[in-house]
Structure 1
Amino acid sequence: MGEDLLDLARSPLVLLLVTLAGYQAGRWLQARTGGHALAQPVLVAIAVAGTAISVLGVDYADYRSATELIAFWLGPATVALAIPLHRQADRLEGFVVPLLVATVAGAATSIVSAVLLARMLGADEALEKTLSTKAATTPVAIALTETLGGIPPLAAVFAIATGIVSAITAPAVLNLLRIRDRRARGLAVGAVSHGIGASRMLREDETEGALAGLGMGLSALAISLLVPVLALVLF
C-alpha cells in the first residue's frame, strides 16, 4: 500500500497539481502581505515544487515532463502581454529612440559585466558563457548558451534567479534612484526580470506593465544579436 501511494504521489497529475497549488499559495501569501516584494508567487511555487520532488525522489526530467502543460501556456501568456502594450501605444510617442538605445546598451552591459565578473572570480570559460545570457528570457538563454558551448541547465537557473531577484528588488532600487517615469520603470524591470517582473509591474500600473512586456521581448532580441558578436571579443 505504501509503495502504491508513493507511486501515486509521483504521478504526472499530482506533480502538476502540486505546482499549481504552490503558485496559488504564493498568490494567497502575496494578498495576505499586501503585495510584499518578497511574496512572489513564482518563488513560493519553486519552493513548494522543489521540496515536493526532493521528498518524493522525483527526477527533474520526470517533473519537467509532468508539468509540460504549464510550460506550453507560457507562450500564449507571453504573447498576451501585447494587449496592455496596445492600449498604451500612445505613450511610446517620443520614447522609441531612447527605448531602443537603452535596451541595446543595457543588454551589452549585462553580457560584458557578467563575463568579466565571472572571470575576475576565477570561473572557467563554460561558466562565463553561461552567465553571459542570464538577462535573456529562459528559453532564449538556454538556446544561446547551448550555441556558445556553455551549460544550458545552469543558464535556466541563472535566468530564473535573475528574474526573481530583480522582480523583488528593482522597483525599490528605481524608487531609491527617484526614477518616476512609468515608461522607464517598466522598461527597466522587464529587461532584467522577464515575465516575473512584467507580472509584478502590471499589478502596480498598466503603463509600467505594458513597457515591461515590451522590454522583456526587446532585451531577449538584443541579447540574441549581441551575444554571438561580443563572444568573438570576450572568449
Structure 2
Amino acid sequence: MMSLLTQHPLFGLLITLLGYQLALELRRLWPSVLLQPVLVGVGVVLLILYAVQMDFATYSASVDLLWLFLGPATVALAVPLYSQLARIRQYFWPLLIALLVGGLTTVSLVLALAWMLGADQALLAALAPKSVTSPIAMLLAQDLGGAPALAAVFVMLTGVLGAILAPLLLKWAGIDLPAARGLSLGLNAHAVGIATALQEGEETAAFAALAMSLTGALTAIFLPLIYWWWF
C-alpha cells in the first residue's frame, strides 16, 4: 500500500503541501520567529522522504507542477505594488539607490568570502544569485556554470535565515517605517521575506515585493557582468 502511494506521480506534491500547511498551523499555535513555515515545512518533507526512502530525483519529478507556478506567483506580486503605487513613487529614488548599494554589497561580500575560503567556480556560480527569487537564481546559476538545484538550496537558506533574523535586527535598530522594513525583507529574504512582510501589513508587503522584483531584475542584468569580470 505504501509502495503504491509513494509511486504516485503526485505524492511529492501532496507531502509538500501537507508539510507547509502543518508548518502554518504550528506557527499559528506557537507564534515564534524560529517556527518559520518554510523551514519547518522543509523539515517535515525531509522526514517523510527519509521514512519512505524516496530519493531526491523521484521527489523532484513529482513536484514539477510547483515549479510551473513560481513564475506566475512572482508576477502576481504586482497586485500589492499597484495598491501602494503612490507611496512607492514617494520613495522610489532612495529605494533604488538602497537596492543598488545593498545588492552590489551582498553579491561582492558573498563571492569574496567564498573565494577566500576556497570555493570552486561552480560553487561560486551557485552562490552568486542567492539573494533573488528561485526562478531567476536557478537560470542565472545555470548561465554562470553552476548547479540550479544547489542555487535553489542557497536561495531557500537565505530566505529562511533572512526572514528569521531581519525582523529581530530591525526591531533592535528601532526601524518601524513599513517601507524600510519591507525593503529590508524583500532585499534580504526575497519571497520568504514577502510572506513575513504580509503578516505586518499591506504597505510592508508592497515594498518587500518591490525590493524583490527590482533586485531580481538588476541582478539578472548586472550579475553576469560582475561575475565574468571578477573571474
TM class by shorter-chain length?
over 0.9
SS where residue 180 of structure 1 aligns? coil
Unaligned runs of 5+ in 1: none
Q: Judge conservation of contact 2:71–2:135 (CA < 8 Å) in 1.
A: no
Provide the residue aligned with 2:217 in structure 1: 221
Using the TM superposition, give the Cα deviation of residue 76 of structure 1 relative to its aligned residue in structure 2, in angstroms. 2.9
Q: How does 1:34-183 map to 2 (within 5 A)?
A: 34=31, 36-183=32-179
2:208 & 2:154 partners in 1: Cα distance?
Answer: 20
Unaligned runs of 5+ in 2: none
SS where residue 118 of structure 1 aligns? helix
Change in 2 beyond 3 A, CA 1:17/1:79: same
SS where residue 38 of structure 1 aligns? coil
Provide the residue aligned with 2:204 in structure 1: 208
**What amino acid is the match of 2:25?**
W
1:170-206, Cα deviation, whole Å (9 max, x unpaired): 1111111222221111011111211111011011111
Q: Judge conservation of contact 1:15–1:66 (CA < 8 Å) in 2.
A: yes
1:84-124, Cα deviation, whole Å (9 max, x unpaired): 22111111233111111111111111111111001121222
Using the TM superposition, give the Cα deviation of residue 57 of structure 1 relative to its aligned residue in structure 2, in angstroms. 2.3
Provide the residue aligned with 1:187 in structure 2: 183
- Which of 1, 9, 34 aligns to 2:6? It is 9
Change in 2 beyond 3 A, CA 1:49/1:90: same
CA RMSD of aligned residues (A): 1.6
1:119 & 1:75 partners in 2: Cα distance?
Answer: 31
Taking only the aligned residue pairs, the percentage that are identical comes to 39
How many equivalent residue pairs?
231
1:49-107, Cα deviation, whole Å (9 max, x unpaired): 11222222223222122122333333333222222221111112331111111111111
2:86 & 2:8 partners in 1: Cα distance?
Answer: 49
Superposition TM-score, scaled by structure 2 size? 0.93
2:169 & 2:6 partners in 1: Cα distance?
Answer: 42
Using the TM superposition, give the Cα deviation of residue 233 of structure 1 relative to its aligned residue in structure 2, in angstroms. 2.8
1:9 & 1:127 partners in 2: Cα distance?
Answer: 32
- Which of 193, 199, 205 aligns to 1:197? It is 193
**What amino acid is the match of 1:212?**
A
Q: Judge conservation of contact 2:12–2:60 (CA < 8 Å) in 1.
A: no
Q: How does 1:19-38 map to 2 (within 5 A)?
A: 19-34=16-31, 36-38=32-34
**What amino acid is the match of 1:228?**
P
**What amino acid is the match of 2:17?**
L
SS where residue 12 of structure 1 aligns? coil
Using the TM superposition, give the Cα deviation of residue 151 of structure 1 relative to its aligned residue in structure 2, in angstroms. 2.5
1:56 & 1:28 partners in 2: Cα distance?
Answer: 24
Superposition TM-score, scaled by structure 1 size? 0.92
